[in-house]
Amino acid sequence: MNSTTYSIPLAIGAIPPYLQFVAFGCVLAVGYNIWWALVSERRLPGFPVATLEGQGLPPKESYFKDASGTIASGLKAYAGPFQIITGTGPKIVLPNKYADELRNRPELDFNEAFRKDFFAHYSGFDGFRASLDNPTLIPSTLRVKLTQSLGLVTNHLVDEATSALHQLYGEDREWQSIAVKQHNLNLVARLSSRVFLGRPICRNEQWLEIAKNHTVDSFLAARDLRAQHFFMRPIMHYFMPHNKNIQRHYTDAKRIISTEVERRKIRAQILLEAGDKPPKVSDAIGWMVEMAGGKKVDYVAAQLSLTVASIHATTEALTIALLDLVSHPEIIPQLRKEIIEVLGDAGWSKQALYKMKLMDSFLKESQRLHPPSDVSMNRKVMRRLTLSDGTVLPKGARLMVAARFRDAEIYPEPDAFDATRFLRLLNNTSSNSPHHYVSTSAEMFAFGTIRCHGKHACPGRFLASAELKIALSHMLLKYDWKLDKSDTMPRFFANETAHMTNPGLKLMVRRRTEEINLDLDVDPDLIDVED
Ligand code: HEM
Ligand SMILES: *[C@@H]1O[C@H](CO)[C@@H](O)[C@H](O)[C@H]1NC(C)=O
Ligand SMILES: *[C@@H]1O[C@H](CO)[C@@H](O)[C@H](O)[C@H]1NC(C)=O
Ligand SMILES: *[C@@H]1O[C@H](CO)[C@@H](O)[C@H](O)[C@H]1NC(C)=O
Ligand SMILES: *[C@@H]1O[C@H](CO)[C@@H](O)[C@H](O)[C@H]1NC(C)=O
């Protein structure tokens, strides 16, 4: 009896002190992690838990089976906020009526909402970390610099579209079937990279692969990590394939981008020494340096962050727009007419993009019926917040707000596709109306929140709008499009709260002769003007 009682302490005594210390540390770490998991993943008291109606599934299974359906059930069952149980714990869903009250609340944080789902402290997730470390750099660069340079950017995008289009969609005058999303991804990666990194990187195959893969690999890497036991994550993330991919993307991007920065420095030096002015370069490499004003910034991570925010969202919008065009082919000649009128008059400019009003209304209707998600405004509650109706949002909770894209009160015949819907609404309302493609409102927040100065409304939406209008103008005048009747696969997938088009989606395309010349007749880098 005695011997057993003493054997454990004796055994511990026999272990060298440093090992005792390590063992104690391990026990502490395990204990902390268990405590953390219990605390951070338990349900939020006071909020009803939504599940799919009539299916009797546990909340988390209900969420993974059909997140949109689970949220719709919650909105139907409860008048106020409720919670859903996601893979990383509960999130509060608020009905749309709270959108106005919640925007710009200092208690709520946009970037922190993603910290837990996106492992920003692990290598490879550098882009996510860059947004957390410096949450204003990219949004303010886009708002200030991109807006100032939209005239020049328009020319760059037209030049890039001209050069990329023939290569990507071909010259065949017979109908051929293409996997349209992959082609669009290639096009958007080139357009966006032209604006973010300029020439020649926007045509560098290795960069383009990173630009196209990094978003998907980041999401898969984060998903793999979420599926791992939390205790194993710090070790496993060095070995899991998608995690290794994103770590390699960062290293390769760093090499490509620093070579370009070096090249620019040398070029500027040579010109300065020869007494010439260095050329005006208008892309996000330069803009971010100007915006950072000497502050230390990881520009490679920031570029990856830009890529993640922009390329897939814009590709998705372009793919959905094409799908809507071929599903409602009567719109095609109307859009062609507008493009020819606007561009035939005065050529490309940012004003020309503004004058494409039918295109604008069409894009917004396309987004209304197929938004990237039924919820937006993902936020984390940084300090306890009491709302006007007495609802208390506890510190640490994550939330999202439901949109009203198909609400008959706002949009008569909400399920019908009506390309002129927003054009008519625009016609009947005073200026500053929320019916432009780039405007956001409490109900219609595919780009995030709110018409006026919603702090986190997508700062890239002006670029997205320019890219889409320029790409569609080229694609409509230079190509005919129709449905591929042999393609019977589902057109859309839902994954958690995100909706996306089927990557295998096929459309028929053939080259046609454009009525007017769409190409710039000069190299835009030689036009040193801003309008
Ligand atoms: C059609 C394409 C796009 C859609 C549907 C879209 C949608 C969104 C949404 C819903 C948000 C979150 C807003 C919120 O929660 O309040 C967002 C944020 C953001 N978007 Fe976009 N976006 C698109 C294109 C772009 C592009 C082209 C860029 C880059 C040039 C971009 C850069 C960003 C950035 C940096 C943020 C974070 C804003 C912040 O931190 O305050 N987006 N976007
Ligand atoms: C990008 O993804 C494709 C397809 O999965 C793969 O073949 C390619 O090696 C990837 N490239 C990079 C740079 O990750
Ligand atoms: C907009 O209003 C003008 C005049 O008020 C009219 O000529 C035009 O047809 C209207 N457009 C639409 C789409 O209703
Ligand atoms: C806009 O006004 C016109 C008359 O000017 C009317 O026919 C039309 O129904 C109105 N549209 C909407 C969406 O209110
Ligand atoms: C969601 O995406 C993951 C990874 O791509 C996939 O394994 C899963 O089956 C998808 N879920 C649904 C419902 O499509």
**Which tens digits make up the pLDDT trace of 371-400?**
988 888 889 999 999 999 999 999 999 999
Q: Which atom of ligand 1 is nearest to the CA of 371?
A: 5
Cβ of residue 428 lying under 6 Å from some atom of ligand 4? yes
Q: Which atom of ligand 4 is nearest to the CA of 428?
A: 1
Tokens of 81: 């906020």
Q: Is the pLDDT of residue 401 over 80?
A: yes
Return the residue whose CA atom lies nearest to atom 14 of ligand 5.
Answer: 495
Tens-place pLDDT, residues 69-104: 999 999 999 999 999 998 778 999 999 999 888 887
Q: Which atom of ligand 2 is nearest to the CA of 252?
A: 13
In three-state secondary structure terms, 402 is: strand
Residues 334 and 203: beta-carbon distance below 8 Å? no
Q: How confident is the model at residue 429 (pLDDT cuts 50, 70, 90)?
A: confident
Ligand 5 pocket check: which of 240, 495, 496 to mutate, most ligand atoms within 8 Å of Cβ? 495
Q: Scan for tokens 């045509």, then name that residue.
A: 203
- Average pLDDT score over the chain: 88
Residues 70 and 85: beta-carbon distance below 8 Å? no
Cβ of residue 71 lying under 6 Å from some atom of ligand 3? no
Spatial distance between the Cα atoms of 366 and 489, rounded to a whole number of angstroms? 20
Cβ of residue 32 lying under 6 Å from some atom of ligand 5? no
The pLDDT of 124-140, averaged and rounded, is 89
Q: What is the pLDDT of residue 457?
A: 81
CA 159 – ligand 3 centroid, Å: 34
Q: What is the pLDDT of residue 398?
A: 93
Return the residue whose CA atom lies nearest to atom 37 of ligand 1.
Answer: 458
The pLDDT of 208-214, averaged and rounded, is 96
Q: Is the pLDDT of residue 112 over 60?
A: yes
Which has more confidence, 511 or 225? Answer: 511
Contacts of 12 (CB under 8 A, 6+ apart): 20
CA 495 – ligand 5 centroid, Å: 6
Q: H or E segment at 13?
A: helix 2-14
CA 424 – ligand 4 centroid, Å: 6
Cβ of residue 424 lying under 6 Å from some atom of ligand 4? yes
Cα–Cα separations (whole angstroms), residue 200 to 204, 208, 287 = 7, 11, 17
Q: Which atom of ligand 3 is nearest to the CA of 420?
A: 13
Q: Scan for tokens 């969202």, then name that residue.
A: 313
Ligand 3 pocket check: which of 361, 364, 420, 427 to mutate, most ligand atoms within 8 Å of Cβ? 427
Q: How confident is the model at residue 231 (pLDDT cuts 50, 70, 90)?
A: confident
Q: What is the pLDDT of residue 473?
A: 98
Neighbours of 164 (CB within 10 A): 22
Q: What is the pLDDT of residue 400?
A: 93
CA 213 – ligand 5 centroid, Å: 17
Spatial distance between the Cα atoms of 219 and 223, rounded to a whole number of angstroms? 6
Q: How confident is the model at residue 452 (pLDDT cuts 50, 70, 90)?
A: very low
Tens-place pLDDT, residues 38-65: 655 678 999 999 999 988 899 999 998 9
For residue 205, give the amino acid letter.
E
452 labeled part of a ligand binding site: no
Tens-place pLDDT, residues 262-308: 888 888 888 888 888 777 678 999 899 888 888 888 999 999 999 99
Return the residue whose CA atom lies nearest to atom 10 of ligand 5.
Answer: 495
Q: With 0-12 CB in 10 A as exposed, 13-18 as middle and 19+ as buried, what is 214?
A: buried
The CATH number of domain 59-526 is 1.10.260.30: no
pTM of the model: 0.88
Tell me the sheet residues that pair with 480.
Answer: 510
Cα–Cα separations (whole angstroms), residue 489 to 316, 389, 478 = 17, 46, 27
**Between the CA atoms of 370, 374, 379 and 384, what dihedral angle is there, to the nearest 10 degrees?**
160
Q: Is the pLDDT of residue 432 over 70?
A: no
Ligand number with the minimum distance to the CA of 449: 1
